[in-house]
Each structure stands twice: as C-alpha cells, then as structure tokens.
Structure 1
Amino acid sequence: MHTVAVLALEDTIGFDLATAVETFSQARLPDGRTAYRVLVCGEDDEVSAGAFTMRTHHGVEALQLADTVIVPGRNNPLIPTSAITLEALQDVAAAGTRIASICVGAFSLAEAGLLDGRRATTHWRAAQAFRQKFPAVDLDPDVLYVDSGAILTSAGASAGLDLCLYMIQQDHGAAVAADASRLAVAPLHRGGGQAQFILRNQPTLQTASLEPVLHWIEHNAHRPITLEQLAEAAHMSVRTLNRRFHTETGQSPMTWLSGVRIRHAQELLETTDYGVERIARQTGFPSPSNFRALFQRTLGVSPSEYRRTFRGERTAQRHRQPAGQG
C-alpha cells in the first residue's frame, strides 16, 4: 500500500495539513480497499496549529517509510525550519521519495535546497518574499500547482486539494481520483490558475510621487486614456512618468492602467449581471474582444469562467443576459 507521510511542523496551517490527511485517507480503490496509508509525522509529540494543538503519532524518522511526503505550510513561513526537519527532507529526497508542498510549505522545501533550479509555486501573497529569499528557484505564482518530477508544489489553501487529487490520479487513475473528488465535493480539474484569485494593483503601494496619479487612474480608468494624459495628470513628462512607474511599481503606466481595468471588471463579474459587452465598455476597454483577450491573458480564464468560479454556475446561468444586451 502506498504510504503518505504528512509532516506536522510547529505552527502548521491546520487547513493544509487536514486537506492532505483527509483527501488521501478517504481515497478508495475500485474494489473498496483504502488506497493509502496516512501517517502524520512531527519532531514533537504535540504541535501548535494556530488555534489548536495536535498530537502526532510518528516522529520525522517515519518519513523514511513513506512513498510520498506532504509538507503543509506554516502560519509564518519566514521562521526558519529546524535543521532536523531539513535533514529529514533532504534524506528522503535523496532516496527518490516523492515530496509535495501545500501553500507556503514550499518555503521549507526551498530551505532544504530541494527547489533550486526547479519550477515551483506557492501562495501568491508570499511570492515576493519567496523570490527574495530563494532567487535560485524558478517561481511561477500564477498556477495552482507544479509537477517538476519528484518534487511538487501547490498554491494556497484549496490548491492543495487540487494537487492531492492530481497525485491520486497519477497513482491510481482517473476513476479513483474522480471518486475522491466527489467525496471532497470538489472538481477534479479547475480551469485557469492562481492568477484569477490575485487582487491586482492592491492599494498598499507606498509611493508619494505616484500617489496622485494612481488615485486619478482609479477614478478615471473607465475613460479612454493615453500615456500623454497620464503624464499630464501626474504633472510629469512622459519620460519621467515611465521611469517612476518602472522604479516604484515594476510596471509601465499603461500596464498599471490595464490592471486597474481588469480589477474593476472582476468586481463587476462577481457582483452584477452585466454582459461582457457592457463590462468592457464600463471599465474602459476599447472593445469586448480586447477585454476578453486581455482578461484571459492576465488571469488564465475567460470572463465567463471567472464568473462561474466566483458566483457559481447556477447563479451565472440564472442571471446571464443575451449577447448584445446591457
């Protein structure tokens, strides 16, 4: 029987750990037999998991018994992982054991040196800190999970479930994975990636020189705007505006404007019944086709798929307007 060891680190995220334990524990083979033996392992008998404390039945030495090791995230991933745990992860990796992280559990894998030169992902909110701490890792924060062979990583929260179902499918086929997905009341495959959950251009940027023009963009993004108009609103030359934006946001002014429009469109898709044509017009896109193309390229899903994800298929069908109306 395939053994899955779930590593219970101090300050572990309970949701991440429970996702792996429950998903693998409930998986059944076609003849009804349990598909996996699940072990919860930790350095200590008791482990803090934020709002509660849990007891583990196995030490980290039990990772050597596993065919798959799951590393959940911790509430503060910037706190160093213990040397004992890092050594245990390095040992099982050297033995060829499959290792997967959920959410910011990727920080522990990167600390162990297991992600250097590999493509990986983590929760989008931790992406900047991850890049700064582990520049040798090819981080892709837009996807739900990454399979780079013996090492797999997933994005935040429910993306861990996506990864667990994916591994079940790899181990036992689509039928067993589909049954596990039904038990979890979750789709076996989700369209798009993590990008659709990222709140673009969050108003947390601290920049005195750009604050007035960022505020102006927020309130005028629905209008046709040229680069020259942005420079005028910022009281800068076009050259200075471009330099300031690249230095302080990492984007061009027009890319920032497009991000604001995308975010406004996300809000309308989530909260209104408006058709794509109306949303494109109301958020400043030159045409519905331009809106659809940029939305798909930015978030990895179409506007209609995004609406289904965040409002539910039934709600979207009930309120969807015929093309050309609104």
Structure 2
Amino acid sequence: MKHISILVPKGDVALSCIEGSFTVFNKVNDFLAASGRSPLFKVQLVGLARDPETYHRLFAVTPDLTLDEVSQTDLIVIPAVNGDMQQVISMNQEFFPWIVKQHHKGAEVASLCVGAFLLASTGLLDGKKCSTHWFAANHFRKMFPDVTLVSEKIITDEGGIYSSGGAASFYNLIIYLVEKYAGKELAILCSKMFEIEFERSNQSPFIIFEGQKGHDDEPIRKAQEYIEQNFSERITVDQLATMFSLSRRNLERRFKKATSNTAVEYMQRVKIEAAKNSLERGSENVSEVMYKVGYTDTKAFRTTFKKITGLSPQEYRNKYNRALAS
C-alpha cells in the first residue's frame, strides 16, 4: 500500500489542492473496492500540529498526524500557498528538514501550483526543472535562480520530484501520479470521473505576458516600454542599443539578466500578446491580426505564435473568441 502524506501548511493555502488530492487518491481506492480489489493508497493529512488549520476564515482542515508521527511515507504532496512568499516560507520552514529526510529515505515529492516555492526552499529542486503558476514565474526565478523554471509545462518529473503548473492543473499531476502508481486504466477512469483532460502537458495557452519589470535597470525598463508602445513597428536590437546609449552586447546581456528574455524574445512576446488580445476580442482574420502586430511573414508569425502559445493562431481564435463561437 502506498502511503501518501498531504501537507497541511500554515498561512493562506489553496484548499482545493488539499481536498482535490485527497479525493482523487481515495476515489482510486473506491474503484478498486468496487471490483473486489484491495485499496492501494493510505492518504493522510500531515501538519506541524494536530490543531486544525483554518483557511479563508471559513474552512478548517485537521491533520491526521504530525511530522513526528510519520516515520516513513511514499509520496509527499505540497499544496499551493498564497500571500507573501517569504513569510509563507518562514511560517512553514519546519516542514523542510522532514521533507528532505523523507526524500532521502525514498519518498517522492510533488508540489502543486505555487507550492513549488515551498518545495524549492528545501533545496531538492536545485539544478532541476520545475513548473509553477505562470503568474508567479518571475518571482520564482528571482527567489530560486538555481532551479530551472519551465513555466509552460503542466507537469515536471525529475526522478520522483514532481511539480504542476497553475491553479486547477494540479489535477493533471495527480492523474499522472495515479497512472504511475495504479496504471493507465484507473488513471483514465479518474480523468473521466472528474472530467480532467488526460495527458494535457502545456499551459502556454493560458499565459498572459505582462513583461518583467520588477528590476532596477532603468535603461532596460525604458527599452521594454518602448517595445510595448511600438510593437507594430519593426524594431532592431541595434536601434534599441543606440536609443539608450548602450553597446549591442551590453544591452543584450542586461536585457536577458533583467527580464529572463533576450531583446528579440521580448519583442516577439509583446507582439504575440497583442495578437492574442485581437484574436480573442476582435473580428479581424488571422492575416489582418498578423499585419496589425507588425509581422509580414505568415510562416514566421505562425511559427512564433505556436512556439509561445502552443496553438496556431486559428486554433487560438477558435478557442477563445466568444463572438466567433456564438
């Protein structure tokens, strides 16, 4: 039997991650019981104390066990946490040595959404890939530069250390773990029961690019603003370097450091974000949108759009344009 420990952290926690994980793993046991088989999972809530944790002033979650009462487990699930991440990490730091100890004893560890901040604080993600909610990506990169963030991914699996993308996509990771532990048949059954898309791997269509301006490099911030205000124009890196009195090499180095994108990548992302907005809300066809955001090469536009969003421009328009769908 697999022992699953779902953590009950202190602070502002996404209750759905605790309840959803608990429900799905126990539903697998129900499916097995219905076919005369033994349960596979023993699911317990584990906290720093037995006292209930109250979330959103309304919902109380009572741990089954404390850390000291769990000598060994097979999977640790870290739910999403909200608020000031430095404070949340400080409030929950007693979990970290226990998580590391259990991992060294063979336990796997899964973070859900921004629970990645707690997982990364253990050091277990250093040198590894992980995902989190796209909205928290810039903050995560600054706090954990030794972790390779792949925020477009729904699921990462680094040798038994798992993470999921944003919000409700944690269900995709739970289904992935059900498949690993219980087999594809039960995973598909769970996906149908909870109406979760099976094998969805990319959260790029949901990402809203807002620029990375949480830095102190003023010339780079001004370059970003210029790009955003003139996205329909053809802007070159040399033009930006001259405009802000920097060498091309210096601008490219500083741009990458400040924004985690090259200047060319930033220009592409700004153009594609503008295209997404037009495809969502407007009546223009794909070619009209392409010219509107400054592209003249159809192949280049489609290639860049799909690289950033995971969908073709037409697929994106069909998916998100309500007027078109009605």
For 2:101, which of 60, 81, 91 is the aligned residue? 91
3-state SS in 1 of match to 2:195:
coil
Q: Which residue of 2 aligns with 1:54?
A: 61
TM-score, normalization: structure 2?
0.81
C-alpha root-mean-square deviation of aligned residues, in Å?
3.3
For 2:236, which of 227, 233, 243 is the aligned residue? 227
Partner deviation per Cα, 1:250-270 (whole Å, 9 max, x = no partner) = 545443322211001111232
3-state SS in 2 of match to 1:18:
helix
CA contact (8 A) 1:162 1:188 kept: yes
Residues 272-281 or 4-13, more deviating: 272-281
Q: Which residue of 1 aligns with 2:24?
A: 23
The one-letter code sitting in structure 1 at the alignment partner of 2:45 is V
> Share of identical aligned residues, percent?
24
| CA distance 1:60–1:311, change in 2 (3 Å) | farther
Aligned-partner Cα distance in 2 for 1:135–1:217: 26
The one-letter code sitting in structure 2 at the alignment partner of 1:260 is V
CA contact (8 A) 2:74 2:107 kept: yes
- How far did residue 2 of structure 1 move? 2.7
Q: Does 1:176 align with 2:177?
A: no
CA contact (8 A) 2:7 2:76 kept: yes
3-state SS in 1 of match to 2:10:
coil
For 2:271, which of 248, 261, 273 is the aligned residue? 261
- How far did residue 227 of structure 1 move? 2.2
CA contact (8 A) 2:219 2:244 kept: no
CA contact (8 A) 1:14 1:49 kept: yes
Q: Which residue of 2 aligns with 1:4?
A: 4
| CA distance 1:229–1:72, change in 2 (3 Å) | same
| CA distance 1:301–1:151, change in 2 (3 Å) | same
In the TM superposition, what are the counterparts of 1:245-284 in structure 2 within 5 Å? 246=255, 249=259, 251-272=261-282, 274-284=284-294
| CA distance 1:248–1:122, change in 2 (3 Å) | closer
The one-letter code sitting in structure 1 at the alignment partner of 2:276 is Q
The one-letter code sitting in structure 1 at the alignment partner of 2:55 is A
Structure 1: gaps spanning 5 or more residues: 320-326
The one-letter code sitting in structure 2 at the alignment partner of 1:19 is G
CA contact (8 A) 1:143 1:155 kept: yes
In the TM superposition, what are the counterparts of 1:98-137 in structure 2 within 5 Å? 98-137=108-147
CA contact (8 A) 1:228 1:238 kept: no
